[in-house]
Amino acid sequence: MKPAQGKLGVMCVGLGAVTTTFMTGVLMARKGLAKPVGSMTQYDKIRVGRGKDKKYLHYGDIISLANLNDIVFGAWDVYPANAYESAMYAEVLKEKDINPVADELKAIVPMKAAFDKNYAARLDGDNVKDCKTRWDMVEALREDIRRFKADNNCDRIVVIWAASTEIYVPVDEKVHGTLAALEEAMKADDREHVAPSMCYAYAALKEGAPFIMGAPNTTVDIPAMWQLAEETKMPIAGKDFKTGQTLVKSGFAPIIGTRCLGLSGWFSTNILGNRDGLVLDEPANFHTKEVSKLSTLESILVPEEQPDLYTDYYHKVRINYYPPRNDNKEGWDNIDIFGWMGYPMQIKINFLCRDSILAAPLLLDLVLLSDAAARDGRYGTQRFLSFFLKSPMHDYTQNEVPVNHLFQQYVMLKNAIREMGGYEADEEID
């Protein structure tokens, strides 16, 4: 692996609650004023070696990770407010935890976003690029990345989407099946099949930057983007940050499966009041999220593997916009299970979480590990990053089944860290 030398530019699409919480936490941690709790790259230890050679090390002691002091932040957003103003507006963090880094946050002023209101009807910002076609969007974003890299003397760039969920874009093989077809659609300004997020991903990869999709958008999980990632030798990862309810589901469903208990139904509902909740209150945008959330359970509790236990269970997901709750999301899960001789039981989980507090460390880990993967020569879909994501990317053209089981994902993560560090990938997924 090439060492993490020089500055790492982290360019975030979206400067809302999640992004400003992430930025503020990193800046505070650099000053020793806060702890990056929840970040695997900063806290987790994994075993390397066996027997007398066995030892447990932090990720940064196994592979070369960018130092927090070397990170430079940039952003795009449809609203012109700087990172300090956005953090104050989001009301995720207390003022006392923002003010010590106020000057650094004020210096992060968002570039104009590549935006199409048809993809997020509830957003009304005017800090938007005037692009005639999707190809113009791509070219403008590529110029933004080049300028940011030069102005900030960055050695490397990572681009991460932390903006709102777009409306659902079904995969169309004629447009999304090849890179040539996607480029042709961009130049023809095919706004139905080419989402703005695809323009960000295309621009990032073309400029030699890994791209991470933190929403459930149809963006890099299409063959055209896989082809581009292969050509540019860049890592891609996605999709949708695994924060509250899905984190619980991917960790709790294995308990049911391992214990060989049956499942009759799993009803999940959320109340959320931040900008993400506002956007998801639009049915077309919610459908994108619904597809992502529903995919988790079906690959963990598989009817074909245990027909007596998991045939015809009912799985429902709901998200409700409730402004008074703001960023403090509440996830309710009602799980109907059955046991010995088919007798029914219930499990109820009420997770009162803070959405951005859970998401911020995911951004840090995804950025640092994507950068490490790029320096290690890894490119294309980074399946080992599925641990951090709700709906892992997979090659559905080859009938690949995504791994959603949290503990299997953790094995994949640990093995990749071992491999990049020159150790044996010595755990197996059973």
Domain of residue 300, CATH code: 3.30.360.10
Q: Give domain status of residue 426, yes or no.
A: no
Positive/negative CA dihedral, 20, 25, 27, 33? positive
pLDDT band at 74 (very low <50, low <70, confident <90, very high): very high
Q: Cβ–Cβ contacts within 10 Å for residue 2, how many?
A: 11
Select from 303, 324, 352 the last residue of a domain.
352
Q: Kindly state whether residues 105 and 65 are assigned to the same domain.
A: yes
Tell me: pLDDT of 148 over 90.
Answer: yes
The per-residue pLDDT for 288 is 67
Q: Kindly state whether residues 370 and 336 are assigned to the same domain.
A: no
CATH classification of the domain holding 177: 3.40.50.720
Burial class (CB in 10 A: 0-12, 13-18, 19+), 34: middle
The per-residue pLDDT for 289 is 66
Q: Kindly state whether residues 307 and 161 are assigned to the same domain.
A: no
Tell me: pLDDT of 277 over 90.
Answer: no
Q: Kindly state whether residues 289 and 336 are assigned to the same domain.
A: yes
Percent of the chain with pLDDT over 90: 87
Residues 6+ apart with CB under 8 A from 396: none
Q: Give domain status of residue 1, yes or no.
A: no
Tell me: pLDDT of 89 over 80.
Answer: yes
Q: Kindly state whether residues 232 and 85 are assigned to the same domain.
A: yes
The per-residue pLDDT for 424 is 96
Number of domains the chain contains:
2
Tell me: pLDDT of 295 over 80.
Answer: no
Q: Give domain status of residue 399, yes or no.
A: yes
Q: What is the DSSP letter of 113?
A: B
The per-residue pLDDT for 388 is 97
Q: Give domain status of residue 425, yes or no.
A: no
Average pLDDT over residues 390-398: 93
Q: Kindly state whether residues 14 and 78 are assigned to the same domain.
A: yes
Q: Kindly state whether residues 260 and 235 are assigned to the same domain.
A: no
pLDDT band at 245 (very low <50, low <70, confident <90, very high): confident
Tell me: pLDDT of 323 over 80.
Answer: yes
Q: Give domain status of residue 222, yes or no.
A: yes
Q: Kindly state whether residues 205 and 283 are assigned to the same domain.
A: no
The per-residue pLDDT for 114 is 97
Q: Give domain status of residue 71, yes or no.
A: yes
For residues 364 and 40, give the distance between their C-alpha atoms in angstroms, rounded to a whole number. 9
Select from 305, 323, 352 the last residue of a domain.
352
Q: Give domain status of residue 428, yes or no.
A: no
Q: Give domain status of residue 427, yes or no.
A: no
Please report, for residues 144, 247, 271, 412, the alpha-carbon distance to residue 251 in angstroms, rounded to integers and kept in the order given.
Answer: 39, 6, 21, 15
Would the pTM of this model clear 0.85, i.e. be above it? yes
Mean pLDDT in the chain? 95
Q: Kindly state whether residues 230 and 105 are assigned to the same domain.
A: yes
The per-residue pLDDT for 430 is 79
Q: Kindly state whether residues 44 and 191 are assigned to the same domain.
A: yes
Tell me: pLDDT of 281 over 80.
Answer: no
Select from 308, 327, 352 the last residue of a domain.
352
**Strand-pair partners of 76:** 13, 111
Domain residues for 272?
245-352
- How is 285-303 classified by DSSP, letter by letter? HHHHHHHHHHHHHHTTS-T
Average pLDDT over residues 365-378: 98
The per-residue pLDDT for 279 is 79
Q: Kindly state whether residues 269 and 403 are assigned to the same domain.
A: no
The per-residue pLDDT for 285 is 74
Tell me: pLDDT of 150 over 80.
Answer: yes
Tell me: pLDDT of 296 over 90.
Answer: no
The per-residue pLDDT for 298 is 87
Highest mean pLDDT among 56-60, 267-271, 286-290 belongs to 56-60
Q: Kindly state whether residues 346 and 390 are assigned to the same domain.
A: no
pLDDT digits (tens, 9 = 90+) for 195-207: 999 999 999 999 9
